[in-house]
Amino acid sequence: MADITLSSPLVRPKLGLGGAAVNAMALIAPGAFLWITYQLQAAATAPSGASVAADIWAGIAVALILAFLTAISYSQLAKLYPEAGFAGAVYFAEKAFLERTGAKRSAPSSMARMAKLATGWSAHLFYWVYPGVMVAFMATLIGYIYNQFTGKNLSVLDLTLIGVVFTIVTGYIAYRGITGSTFTSWVINIIQWGSLVVFSALAIFYRIHNPQGVTTGWTFSNAWDVIKPHTMNGVLIQSTLAILILVGFESCTSLAAETKNPKTTIPRAIIIALIVQGLIAYLFEYFATGTMISDKLTGVVDGKTVMGMDAAAASGAPIGDLAILLGNYVFHGIGFGLMISLAITVAIAVIGTTLSCMNTAMRISGGMAADQELPSMMGFIHKKFAIPHVALIALIMVSAVIGAIGVRSVVGLTGITLASNLGTFLLYGLTCTWTIVAYRKRKDHNIVLHDIVPALGVLANLVMLIAIVYLYAIGNADSKNEAYLMFIIAGGWLIVSVAYIGITSMRKSYSMKMISAMIRPESLQVLVEVLKDEDLILGMTVTKIKGFGRQLGKTPGQGNGGDPDLKLTSDKISFIPKVRVDLVVNDWDVPKVMEIMREALFTGQAGDGKIFVMDAKDAMRIRTGEKGVLAV
């Protein structure tokens, strides 16, 4: 698989372990998801209609086990294939099968290509829908804050416009490159860690000191009651929701080209991100929240007062309501101010998770475009900021549209969330499978790390995938509508993908390209041997030529005392002897040929040459009359 990030001088390794990990941590975002998802978790019901809110913490714990199984698989693949560049798991999929079969490149219908396409399809369903989900959440949050100040609700059009503005602003931060995104992620993570520690500590303080005099009205009788599993159905349902808040640990695999020593840095960053945000932050804050809920948390449903977890399920922002209680009864009257302050930190954390996912999404698209599996323009690298900016522009537009669907109703919001989760389970399950494939015949194969762990990961993701489809398909009318929306998004993407792959595969199978390279004469034999070893040429035309490029035919420093750091001072043009190499190849082989040519010809000095690719409309073998690719 060719990846332009490996060869482009625009993309340079800048990130260390902290930078790689913090970008993944920003996507997990515990400071945002406690506020965003607690109402959905509190309102979750079994197919019978019974509440499963008591299993929120246990559901997160089960989802964490699934996440760690998958994270270990990702880290093992990242260690094995540090050259993955932007493509991440998509590269892992293809490379695992190429190494297993001993093939040098993917054939159009090979297992390696099918694995790559399946992984790429799942990754795009996850990473391209997720930012839209966050756009809808942000617009809803701003609508909630507006309501708290004015008592009025924003219209759907207002929320949509807010979502569009938010998408553009976040996209602009991503556009500025990985350095700016990393700094933003550090700031956002520090803010959300601080806010969740304060909120959680206050919630536990509230339970211990009981300023409102709760007697028998606690939702959970003690600490064990908060964390223990209550029903199997409840744990399973809550875990399918909880996976949304845990995804993102793997996102740093798409930063391999921008990370120093990715072979060791990326695997560590994956695990660190999940430990810090999942194992520590989420379990702590959800435990603290559960201990605080009592009959003092109230709400109104159909004119009737509800309390405790029922009130949390009915509230637009139950964490905001709890913050009001904390402010009023722990600090005596600052409830509204505390709630607004917490809401602002949540909004900041939503920016971080959206930004991190956009960074991942556009890089995976860029990596696949460089491999000719997406339109080539999606792989264009910005000269200044070194990001696939065309892919980012497309992502911004898609995110705004998906966000507009989400702000229309709770059904719309849940439906797009389920579509993203569907992509997540598929992607994670496939990646665990590729881990087994990649290590099966290797000398460093470990039965625990490379068989048992990924096999359990495949099983766990498969169970989640079945559960998310089954439980929503057999639910009430709203649940079924949410499932329908999920299938519409996933099915629509599948139809578009299959159509595009089918059309481009047919075209590339019967089309040819002429590759013309202007190279140093002394590099010719090296190039011929390399291409021959890779079985990429059946013929070649070589022509002696003279020419000049940007250096006007002189090396830097010529006429400047030999100082290579000084620019040329003479306008005189010199023609340098070169060799022109022409070869016609099948369209499929173009990325691989270009990659190999660059590796063979690269010296790092001015004058290495250039490679041009042109359409070859037709060809004929004179002796036999064969035409097209058969003549090559």
pLDDT in tens, 93-136: 999 999 988 887 787 888 999 999 999 999 999 999 999 999 99
- Mean pLDDT within 579-605: 87
Same-domain status, 222 and 93 = yes
What is the model's pTM? 0.84
Same-domain status, 547 and 446 = no
CATH number, domain containing residue 592: 3.30.70.120
The alpha carbon of 579 is separated from its chain's Cα centroid by a whole number of angstroms, namely 43
Same-domain status, 436 and 289 = yes
Residue range 277-303, pLDDT digits in tens: 999 999 999 999 999 999 999 988 888
Same-domain status, 279 and 179 = yes
The identity of residue 488, as a single letter, is I
On whether residue 290 sits in a domain, the answer given is yes
Q: Is the pLDDT of residue 566 over 80?
A: no
Q: Is the pLDDT of residue 203 over 70?
A: yes
Same-domain status, 454 and 532 = no
604: left (phi over 0), alpha (psi -120 to 50) or beta: left
Same-domain status, 86 and 219 = yes
Neighbours of 190 (CB within 10 A): 11
Residue 534 exposed, middle or buried by CB count within 10 Å (0-12, 13-18, 19+): middle
CA–CA gap between residue 632 and residue 1 (Å, rounded): 23
Write down the pLDDT at residue 26.
Answer: 87
50-54 contacts: CB < 8 A, separation 24 or more?
Answer: 51/309, 51/310, 51/313, 52/230, 52/231, 52/233, 52/234, 52/237, 52/238, 53/309, 53/312, 53/313, 54/219, 54/220, 54/230, 54/231, 54/234, 54/309
Residue range 515-558, pLDDT digits in tens: 999 999 999 999 998 888 887 777 899 999 988 887 766 655 55
Domain carrying residue 93: 4-408+418-466
CA–CA gap between residue 181 and residue 170 (Å, rounded): 10
Same-domain status, 322 and 433 = yes
Q: Which residue is associated with the tokens 């569907």?
A: 422
Same-domain status, 67 and 207 = yes
On whether residue 495 sits in a domain, the answer given is no
On whether residue 272 sits in a domain, the answer given is yes
Tell me the backbone φ, ψ of residue 556, rounded to 5 degrees. Answer: -55, 135
Write down the pLDDT at residue 591.
Answer: 82
Q: Is the pLDDT of residue 563 over 60?
A: no
On whether residue 203 sits in a domain, the answer given is yes
Q: Find out whether 295 and 214 touch, Cβ atoms under 8 Å.
A: yes
On whether residue 386 sits in a domain, the answer given is yes
Percent of the chain with pLDDT over 70: 95
Three-state helix/strand/coil letters over 100-133: HHCCCCCCCCCHHHHHHHHHHHHHHHHHHHHHHH
CA–CA gap between residue 44 and residue 32 (Å, rounded): 19
Same-domain status, 430 and 559 = no
On whether residue 475 sits in a domain, the answer given is no
Q: Is the pLDDT of residue 608 over 80?
A: yes
Write down the pLDDT at residue 6.
Answer: 41
Same-domain status, 248 and 383 = yes
Same-domain status, 452 and 541 = no
CA–CA gap between residue 431 and residue 438 (Å, rounded): 10
Residue range 163-184, pLDDT digits in tens: 999 999 999 999 988 777 888 8
CATH number, domain containing residue 174: 1.20.1740.10
Residue range 316-375, pLDDT digits in tens: 789 999 999 999 999 988 999 999 999 999 999 999 999 999 999 999 999 898 888 888
Tokens of 521: 């004469």
Same-domain status, 333 and 401 = yes
pLDDT band at 561 (very low <50, low <70, confident <90, very high): very low
On whether residue 482 sits in a domain, the answer given is no
Residue range 140-167, pLDDT digits in tens: 899 988 988 998 999 999 999 999 999 9
pLDDT band at 418 (very low <50, low <70, confident <90, very high): confident
Q: Find out whether 433 and 466 touch, Cβ atoms under 8 Å.
A: no
On whether residue 471 sits in a domain, the answer given is no
Number of folded domains in the chain?
2
Q: Is the pLDDT of residue 12 over 70?
A: yes
The per-residue pLDDT of the chain, averaged, comes to 88
